[in-house]
Amino acid sequence: MQAIRSILVVLEPDRPEGLALKRAKLIANVTQSHLHLLICDKKSDHSAYLSDLAASLTAEGFSATTQQDWLDNLHQTVIAAQQAEGCGLVIKQHYPDNPLKKALLTPDDWKLLRFCPAPVLMVKTDRPWTGGVILAAVDVGNSDGEHRTLHAGIVSHGYDIASLAQGTLHVISAHPSPMLSAADPTFQLKETIEARYREECRAFQAEFDVSDERLHIEEGPADVLIPHIAHKLQAVVTIIGTVARTGLSGALVGNTAEVVLDTLESDVLVLKPDDIISHLEELVAQR
């Protein structure tokens, strides 16, 4: 996160909280990042509002530029601006969708998580990060190269946020429930499954300096456990990685990030491995 030089902040003038900008200023204070403010709207003119905001940020010592634009939809508008400006992080406030609407249409924020090549921070709460718990979700059971690289990115971002917020990093990894039909006897008993995961965690803990009391290994589906542990720890930020599933052209986010977006009570940072980022950048360039 220290390497981020420019942050794209998605603003919504009809929602006065401005939580995305508050988080962006917190991060920019530490990283000295430039702030690029974007309003996605084709109907109203927001130039005066953007100008006043940029002037206020400049007076506070920030570097800021502004843009109002609209392409076919919100997520394409955001991604086009992110690519054009070379922003290393996108910050947007998240508002839960109506369940009926969500059942019929894929929410814009889900599409942004799926297709944006840069990390996306969805801001959900005005709780201060200072002194809080940062929760990093990893899948220790997958230790292939792609997951190892992703885990390193998740934990690295977690430590960066914990450092700037003077908080504490915790890590969660879910493991599957016992299956009597499993070919490997290890996966037939809860005790042997957990023991195997804890053993695999030893190398992970040593590599990333995660103590036993800050590591949470639980049985069950990740999309249930992550919000549960985040609530239990009162986490202020939850960091989730995503690896594309086979057959989906490398572009789709595993659905855990999408499912937990509304159920988590914390802000959510979603990361992707380099190969998915490269693929998504190619898709954007083809448009």
pLDDT in tens, 127-185: 999 999 999 998 876 667 777 788 888 999 999 999 999 999 999 988 766 554 444 55
Residue ranges with strand state E in 142-274: 168-175, 215-219, 235-241, 267-271
What is the identity of the amino acid at 227?
Answer: P
CA distances from 140 to 14, 46, 59, 172, 255 (A): 42, 46, 46, 9, 18
Question: Distance between CA atoms of 20 and 121, rounded to whole angstroms?
Answer: 9
What are the beta bridge partners of residue 133? 168, 235
Best CA proximity match to 2, nearest among 170, 208, 168, 156? 156
Decide: residue 287, CB within 10 A, 0-12 exposed, 13-18 middle, 19+ buried.
Answer: exposed
Question: Distance between CA atoms of 252 and 270, rounded to whole angstroms?
Answer: 13
Q: Is the pTM of this model over 0.75?
A: yes
Question: Distance between CA atoms of 52 and 194, rounded to whole angstroms?
Answer: 55
- Report residues of the chain scoring pLDDT below 70: 1-2, 99-105, 141-143, 176-191, 243-255, 274-281, 283-287
> With b meaning 16 or more CB within 10 Å and e meaning fewer, what string describes 187-212?
beeeeebeebbbebbeebbeebebee
Best CA proximity match to 188, nearest among 176, 170, 199? 176
Question: Distance between CA atoms of 155 and 120, rounded to whole angstroms?
Answer: 16
Let me know: does 90 contact 21? Beta carbons within 8 Å: no
Q: Who contacts 42 (Cβ-Cβ below 8 Å, separation ≥6)?
A: 70
- Six-digit token pair at 113? 């998580």
Q: Which domains does the chain have, with CATH numbers?
A: 6-93 (3.40.50.620), 133-286 (3.40.50.12370)
